[in-house]
Amino acid sequence: MKVIISAAGTGGHINPGIAIANKIKEKDPTSEILFIGTNRGLENDLVPRAGYELKTIDVYGLKKELSFINLKHIIKTIKSRKDVEKIFDEFKPDLVLGTGGYVCGPVFYVAVSRKIPTVLHESNAFPGRAVKMFSKKVDKILIGFEETKNKLEGAKDIVFTGTPTKIRKLNVNNQRKKEILEELGIKNDLPIVLVFGGSQGAQKINEAVVELIKSKKNENYQIIWATGTKQYDVVKEEFEKSSISINNVKNAKILPYIYNMEEMMNICDLMVCRSGAMTITEISIVGKPAIFVPLPSMSANRQEDNALVLKKIGAAKIILNNDANGEILSKEIDSIIHDEEELEEMGKVANSIAPNDVEEKIYKEIEKLLK
């Protein structure tokens, strides 16, 4: 089996593509897999690191406003089809699979025109532009949320599979939890709030948490906080303005990035984070309550739609990005962090929508299509 996977930009697009590629290789070690992305996104690090070849094309997301730069990007995106055709001529794929994002545009234009079997995976509750554009043309659409079905009218074949992720629910015993917290230099006798905003961080969440800590609102719980590598120094400077060392904040451990996120998600009592599709899936898998601060979007409130999936069943609370500050975040945390029964119930209902055997389901759908 020769498969082209179109995945670019953010981890939310790339990591599901890699997870699917890994499952294909596991099931069929003789298969050949080629990724197509751009030379600007995280795929340039993540794809080679996962052991797969990456070909890049010069393609851009198209904006609604008219400008010279946007016109230039449109021309480059149209021209990129020739590069895709050349890649297809050389690789000769049996299947083309995409995980969303603007790179899918030229890739799926060529795949559909050549009648190559096509699969799109949509992680978000609200489908992206590329998925909506090709929803009636591709052979199969796999979705991460059941709710997405209603937003893809006219699609040939829609199957709910869930979104692939590396995070799993762990049975972390008390001894291991104590060791993890000791390594971080924080206590074992207070509830833990895990705060993160993805690899790049989330500025609005970071600003709210800085406010919260400066106001000493976290006296009765502890915070493990990944600021994002690009924002760590900004947060550090904010604390220094109040003569606070980032390495000596009471009831908090502040890091640029958390490498053992699976363990952290499993030992925390509550999460404060953005609501990308991958994060929603991971939270449902570990079965934890969350306070979401969705990333706003000009075109569609995809993260808010994602967050509503868990809020509607009572597993999460939402603070809109423009409303996020230290006072509001503190009130939302205080409203649940010491209620063990509510935390447990929210975690249970979150886990009730967790998808099982996602990669296996996806592989079976690929098999059906190629047969």
26 with 96, same domain: the answer is yes
- CB-count burial class (<10 Å; 0-12, 13-18, 19+) for 22: middle
- Give 68's pLDDT tier (boundaries 50, 70, 90): low
Angle of helix 277-286 versus helix 11-27 axis, rounded to 10: 60
Please check whether residue 95 lies inside any domain of the structure. yes
Q: Write the pLDDT tens digit of every residue in 230-283.
A: 899 999 999 999 999 999 999 999 999 998 999 999 999 999 999 999 999 999
Give the position of tokens 């709910």.
160
362, 303: one domain: no
- Report pLDDT digits (tens) over 344-354: 999 999 999 99
The pLDDT, as a whole number, for residue 213 is 97
DSSP designation for 322:
G
Evaluate whether residue 168 is within a structural domain: no
Does residue 111 come out as left (phi exceeding 0), alpha (psi in the -120 to 50 range) or beta? Answer: alpha
Q: Assess whether 12 and 157 both reside in one domain.
A: yes
Q: What is the CATH number of the domain that holds 250?
A: 3.40.50.2000
Res. 298: pLDDT tops 60: no
Tokens 């390495």 correspond to 247
DSSP 149: G
Indicate if 310 and 189 belong to the same structural domain. Answer: yes
Q: Does position 32 have pLDDT exceeding 90, yes or no?
A: yes
* Domain of residue 38, residue span: 2-163+356-370
Tell me which of 10-14, 85-89, 170-174, 224-228 is least confident. Answer: 10-14
Q: Same domain for 99 and 16?
A: yes
The predicted pLDDT at position 206 comes to 97
Structural domain total, the chain: 2
**Do residues 84 and 57 touch, judged by C-beta distance below 8 A?**
yes
Residues 244, 158 within the same domain: no
Q: Decide if pLDDT at 199 tops 90.
A: no
Whether the model clears a pTM of 0.85, i.e. scores above it, the answer is: no
Query: Per-residue pLDDT averaged across 161-166, rounded?
Result: 91
The answer to the question of residue 243 being in a domain is yes
The share of the chain scoring above pLDDT 70, in percent, equals 94
Q: CA–CA separation, 187 vs 269, rounded Å?
A: 14
Question: Has residue 310 been placed in a domain?
Answer: yes
Over residues 94-148, the pLDDT tens digits come to: 999 999 888 999 999 999 999 999 999 999 888 888 899 899 999 999 999 998 9
Residue 305: partners with Cβ closer than 8 Å, 6 or more residues away: 124, 125, 126, 147
Residues 257 and 277 in one domain: yes
Amino acid making up residue 240: E
Contact yes or no for 236/228 (Cβ under 8 A): no
Q: Which tokens sit at 79?
A: 């021209």
Do 326 and 294 have their domain in common? yes
Give pLDDT tens digits for 314-361: 999 999 999 999 999 999 999 999 999 999 999 999 999 998 999 999
Q: Are residues 147 and 261 in the same domain?
A: no
Q: How far apart are CA 310 and CA 295, in angstroms?
A: 16
> Would you say residue 169 lies in a domain?
no
> What is the mean predicted confidence (pLDDT) over 36-56?
93
pLDDT at 174 over 80: yes
Same domain? 64 vs 147: yes
Tell me, yes or no, whether 124 and 257 share the same domain: no
- Which strands make up the sheet holding 222-226, listed edge to edge? 252-255, 222-226, 192-195, 270-273, 290-292, 316-318
pLDDT at 63: 64
CA triple 166-171-176, angle to 5 deg? 100
Alpha-carbon distance values, 297 to 2, 167, 304 (Å): 36, 26, 9
Both 128 and 212 in a single domain? Answer: no
Provide the percentage of residues in the chain whose pLDDT is more than 90. Answer: 77
Judge whether residue 64 has pLDDT over 70: no
Question: What integer pLDDT is reported at residue 355 of this predicted model?
Answer: 87
Q: How many CA atoms lie within 13 A of 304 on its CB side?
A: 10
Q: Is residue 53 part of a domain?
A: yes
